[in-house]
Chain A
Amino acid sequence: MSFDLNFIGILIGAIMASSVPLILAASGELITERSGVLNLGVEGMMIIGAISGFALMVISDNLFLAVIGSMTSGLIISIIFGVLTQSLLTNHVATGLALTIFGIGMSAMIGKNFVGIPGKEFPLLFVNLKENIPFLGPILFGHSVILYFAFLLPFLTNYFLKKTKIGLIIRAVGDSPTSASNQGINVILVRYSCILYGGAMCGLAGAYLSLIYTPQWIENMTGGRGWIALALVVFATWSPIKVLIGALIFGGITISQLHMQAVGLRIPVQLLSALPYIMTIIVLVVISRDSRKIKLNTPTSLGQIFYKEK
């Protein structure tokens, strides 16, 4: 194994690229959950985003349209969840699971005609700088615009939740929808908006997979990343920055365990394969063991059905 600096830079760049879908989906779901809604449909919304992004790219040959379309379709599918849980007051967990199953089936059906079509090259920024600057080049440059957005997002989310009025309203709704409602806040509207935002971000996460990371359509191509994003939100105790850390650790160990195998380290492969899951949980549990902060961040009404008494 070569330990030169440039190689480590390339490795870090690869790790960043692999954690993007997790960051996007988890950041979206985090906002949804902070408003008190537990949407287990992340995987389903991601896969719908992946197929719509890819289908639009093939049909229109326009990547911008494809990205916007994937977010829109994630948003549309989350409306189903919104109507069911907020207006018809169905159970969040059951509805979310149904949404995932629906999304996987629906995407497979739409995707039938898009199998076996190669994707289009997605423009990468500052490719020259990547090749000319050792170490920092491959880390900072040569990525897609979505990657830069993904790495900004947790900080924006953090600022949004803590420093803005709308962020405060969302947190209030998540902690005690009844009191928020008594204050004159339209709880249903806030929750709807958060669900839609979460849907759009999951759609974008899916599009990242089908347009940039592995540019093609294959059934079930999200491969469980939605579930990992969901788990990240919980283990990061609803803190956007910790979501980012968790996603990087997960991506980091996934990639380095493949390198360790290629080098031929004599560690049981099964252990290496399990390592990303184990380490991510351990690290997140350790960095978020402050119980006061957990209480502060946990949306108390998570997953509970709210209906306004008239």
Chain B
Amino acid sequence: MYKNFLRYIISVLFFLGVSGQANADFKVGFVYVGPTGDHGWTYQHDEGRKAVEAAGIKTTYVESVPEGADAERVIRQLAQSGHDLIFTTSFGYMDPTNKVAKDFPNVKFEHATGYKREHSNVSTYSARFYEGRTLLGHMAGKMTKTNVIGYIASFPIPEVIRGINAMTLAAQKVNPDIKTKIVWVFTWYDPGKESEAAQALIDQGADVIMQHTDSTAPVQVAEKAGVWSFGQASDMQRFAPKSILTSIIDDWAPYYVERSIAARDGTWKQQDTWHGLKEGMVAMAPYNSAMGSDLVKEVEQLQKDLASGKTHSFTGPIYDQKGNILVAEGSVADDGMLAGMNVYVKGVEGDIPQ
């Protein structure tokens, strides 16, 4: 009797243990580089997390995690505390993610904007923001009267340089006289500095301002000064209703939901994802009607062509600043070249900070 009871207990415990490992306790963790309240990069990732939560999957997140030693500790802790899938959402988490992945082969990892997949349980994903920049360049080239486009840049990494180049190429196509003026602020977000940079560019004659930084300060400066601007990462229209022509929106939600469900159901596989307008990871906010219905139609068509692959942001011939050919006529830049882009195209002023 006593023996039977013990057997019963053990089998119950065993059953609980097994079911605990299955999807009942499935949890997804997120690591953010900034605060969820930045209304930019991290905010959009958190919107994605909320979508996962809405799909009935438990999530947790840790915000404002500095890139470096702290990141590894946080990721390790998430892995240890029973998370089955962990999204690490900044470039600087690349090595920590791979390091932790080695020690937790049963946990799946997804690293944003990186390229290292050292273990079979690490995937990478990123968005083709440059496709959005192409649309911005088209609008900027058409809208500028001074032929000067001001660009607030954060750090000299391929992603930022790719955006500058894509924008300049598209603007040149519709307006060969345009000049791109760039100010590097060396921060992803410092509203004070960003607004000073925007003001400096406007004072230097730019009548279209765009940014690769995350705060809404530059569009507000543009609104006050009466020049055109574009929002970054999320729809910033309500901060500058007259000035903003559109915003590039990062929409991570579908990807996060899809991958979380795949991991829960056991169909998750390692992959490298680079999605753009076609898949909806890059989306455009509504176009400002102030630019005229003809231009809106043009841009909408261009957006369709970029999404369908009929047009590519980097179609040859493309030259660098010295006039050397980068992409031959009739061909398009391949993903390898795009991922490692570290030169300006012809028409961009100044040098890339080394």
Residues of A near any B CB (own CB < 8 A): 1-2, 7, 10-11, 14, 18, 108, 111-112, 115-116, 118-119, 209, 213-216, 218-221, 223, 225, 254-255, 258-259, 261-264, 266, 268-270, 273
Contacts and interface: CB of A to CB of B under 8 A. Distances in A.
Interface stretch (B77-85, B190-198, B274-282): B190-198
Contact of B39 (A1, A115, A259, A264): A115
A11 B238 CA distance: 28
Contacts of A115: 37-39, 43
B60 interface: no
Contact of A216 (B34, B150, B220): B220
Given A116-B39, A214-B195, A262 B216 contact: no
A174 B35 CA distance: 40
B200 A262 contact: yes
Contacts of B215: 214, 216, 218, 221
Nearest to B352: A269
A255 B192 contact: no
Given A261-B350, A270-B353, 19 more contacts: A1-B204, A11-B203, A115-B38, A116-B238, A213-B195, A216-B216, A218-B216, A219-B37, A221-B192, A223-B187, A223-B190, A225-B192, A254-B193, A258-B183, A261-B184, A261-B200, A262-B150, A266-B351, A273-B186
Contacts of A111: 37
Contact of B353 (A2, A11, A264, A269): A269
A18 B192 contact: yes
B190 to A, nearest CB: 4
30 contacts: A11-B203, A14-B199, A14-B200, A18-B196, A111-B37, A115-B37, A115-B39, A118-B220, A118-B238, A209-B191, A213-B192, A216-B191, A216-B215, A218-B37, A218-B189, A218-B191, A218-B215, A218-B216, A221-B192, A221-B215, A225-B192, A254-B196, A255-B199, A258-B185, A258-B196, A261-B182, A261-B184, A264-B181, A266-B350, A269-B353
A287 B34 CA distance: 40
Contacts of A214: 191-192, 195, 215, 217, 220
B196 A264 contact: no
Interface in B171-185: 181-185
A254 B35 CA distance: 26
Given A18-B192, A263-B204, A218 B39 contact: yes
A234 B82 CA distance: 50
Contacts of B39: 115-116, 218
A218 B238 CA distance: 15
Contacts of A14: 196, 199-200, 203
Nearest to A265: B350
Given A1-B204, A108-B35, A264-B349, A215 B220 contact: yes
A205 to B, nearest CB: 12
Contacts of A220: 35
Contacts of A213: 192, 195
Contacts of B125: none
B201 interface: yes
B239 interface: yes
Contact of A223 (B35, B186, B191, B200): B191
A219 to B, nearest CB: 4
Contacts of B351: 266
B193 to A, nearest CB: 7
B151 to A, nearest CB: 10
A99 to B, nearest CB: 19
A108 B37 contact: yes
A223 B196 contact: no
Contacts of A219: 34-35, 37-38
Contacts of B183: 258, 261-262
Given A218-B215, A223-B192, A266-B350, A259 B37 contact: no
Contact of A10 (B197, B203, B354): B203
Best-surrounded residue of A1, A213, A218, A219 (most CB of chain B within 10 A): A218
Nearest to B224: A121
4 closest residue pairs by CB, A with B: A258-B200, A269-B353, A214-B191, A219-B35
Nearest to B189: A218
Contacts of A215: 220
Contact of B38 (A7, A218, A261, A264): A218
Contacts of A119: 220
Nearest to A14: B199
A82 B150 CA distance: 47
Nearest to A254: B196
A222 to B, nearest CB: 8
Interface string B17-52: 000000000000000001101110001000000000
